Amino acid sequence: MIRIAVIDDEKEEQERLLGYYQRLREEVHEDLDIHTYLSGDEFLSVQEEPFDLICLDIDMDGLDGISTAKEIRKKDEQVIIIFVTNMAQMAIRGYEVQALDFVVKPVNYYSFAMKMTNAFRMLKNRKSRNIVLTTASGMQKISTDDLYYVEVNGHYLYYHTKDQTIRQKASMKEIEDRLAGLSFKRCNNCYLVNLKYVDCVNKDDLKVGNDWLKISRPRKKEFLQALANYMGGIDL
């Protein structure tokens, strides 16, 4: 299920977007749980479980969309934000709050569907799971959400997480199979990288957390394409 919040102070526009989501639900066969709010203040005052995607009007009375998004980002760095606006020049400010995209009013269904489908694809790429590692000292469970990258050195794998590095005797092929379907991709023969934590790419190097890793020439095209898809189809 994908939880979606629609925040717009125009009831007519809300109804239009709801209709579009219902049509899209049938076309892409996604289970969508949609909630509507007439203001940023109303949304921020309601304590609910986190949303996956927020469709947010910029030009609203009271707390505008940019200010609302800044408040949202204080609590949730991962939720996808897509702005809806009749002022295309304002959409560039979306970079201040890491917005994925924007839709210009009056909203055209085909443009809307393309951008939302792209967002749905990103959400699927963000799936996570827990894995149990057998180590020399016993067993340890980690979440793939906390895993920056996996390094192979000889017969051992090194799991680099936010807080620690864990060593396990295993092959890269084994962990690749276990992480299949998640947002992990090899940048060379030694590193399997969580695309979620790639901060930047500079020619043949990429930064993950505090570490710089090499991108090999044979894997570069495929890795950059996977990263572009994860980030929403941008060109790298």
Domains and CATH numbers, the chain: 2-125 (3.40.50.2300), 130-230 (2.40.50.1020)
The pLDDT value recorded for residue 222 is 95
User: Which residue ranges in the chain fall short of pLDDT 70?
Assistant: 47, 88, 91, 125, 232-236
The pLDDT value recorded for residue 92 is 72
The pLDDT value recorded for residue 149 is 98
Long-range contacts of 32-36 (CB under 8 A, 24+ apart): 32/1, 32/2, 32/4, 33/1, 33/2, 33/3, 33/4, 34/4, 34/5, 34/6, 35/3, 35/4, 35/5, 35/6, 36/5, 36/6, 36/7, 36/8
The pLDDT value recorded for residue 231 is 75
The pLDDT value recorded for residue 209 is 92
The pLDDT value recorded for residue 232 is 61
The pLDDT value recorded for residue 181 is 77
**Cβ 230 vs Cβ 182: under 8 Å:** no
The pLDDT value recorded for residue 88 is 67
pLDDT tens track for 51-105: 999 999 999 999 999 999 999 999 888 899 999 988 767 767 777 898 999 999 9
